[in-house]
Amino acid sequence: MISNQKVAVVTGSSSGIGKEITLTLARNNFLTYATVRDPKKGQFLKSQADKEKLPLRIVQLDVTKDSTIKNAIQSITNESGRIDILVNNAGYGLVGAFEDLEMDEIKAQYETNLFGLIRTTQAVLPVMREQKSGIIVNISSGAGRFGYPGGSAYVGTKFAIEGLSESISYELEPFGIKVVLVEPGFIKTNFVQAMVIAKKSQDPKSPYSQMMQRIAAVSSQLAQKGSEADLVAKTVLNAVTSQKPNPRYLVGKDVEEWVKSKNSMTDAEFHDMMIKDM
């Protein structure tokens, strides 16, 4: 390893935004550890790294399991001696009207999206604090800035990530550690297709059935018009190479427009606009 080569760790690297972030960082000479829950899903990254001769390693890590996080971070620090960048990307979307959500479904959503981020960050912080430097990039969402129907559990995790990130940024700044939020809108990945639909929401007898069908149709249309995943990856690269990164980065024209509207409207006006749009 080159002595001044910075080390990046990315969770949820096997597909979508995580895959693009991983490749972008490796292509820009960061020693990049792509963490994946299932090592078999890291084969594309491995073959791409071999093909392009990228400084990229595959590491097994499940953000819902403390032992795999501890083992992964220990393995990375033993090998590289440091961690300069942590990108908390692992996550998925749970879709369903709030009344239709089972508690187990909500808990699973929070375990991955929120508690997974917390576990991984807490495991990395002692390393960054010791070296007196580091940057933590939390992949949030436009859903961390405003709610929408059918997304209560997912939106809840993203709002929590926003508040958590803001709070710890004050605590970590004296140790030379920066915290950044990246907030994508709709991105052209398999995220929408991979969404978990609450069991009760799949029942035509649900009182929310027609509403959820409309939301699914609108979401599909918005996803088709979404930004490319490499736009998120370039935003992350910009943040981690900046001397003074912004606390937040919106990614995509759609989310920029929504946030602009939210900031210029009253809550009631924004509420009415979302009902009309969704």
Closest CA to 216 of 111, 90, 93: 93
Relative to beta strand 85-88, strand 7-10 is parallel
Choose, from 33, 154, 208, 249, the residue flagged as catalytic.
154
Choose, from 14, 80, 140, 227, the residue flagged as catalytic.
140
Distance of CA 112 to the CA centre of its chain: 10
Whether 129 contacts 77, CB under 8 Å: no
Buried b (16+ CB within 10 A) or exposed e, 230-243: bbbbebbbebbeee
Choose, from 6, 19, 158, 178, the residue flagged as catalytic.
158
Per the annotation, the verdict on 140 as an active-site residue is: yes
Locus of tokens 């749009």: 277
Instruction: Map residue 60 onto helix, strand or coil.
Output: strand
Please state, in angstroms and rounded to a whole number, the distance separating the CA atoms of residues 102 and 199: 8
Per the annotation, the verdict on 205 as an active-site residue is: no
Per the annotation, the verdict on 154 as an active-site residue is: yes
| Strands, E assignment, 110-228 | 134-139, 177-184, 196-197
Please state, in angstroms and rounded to a whole number, the distance separating the CA atoms of residues 79 and 97: 46
Instruction: Map residue 123 onto helix, strand or coil.
Output: helix
Closest CA to 169 of 210, 206, 125: 125
Catalytic annotation, residues: 140, 154, 158
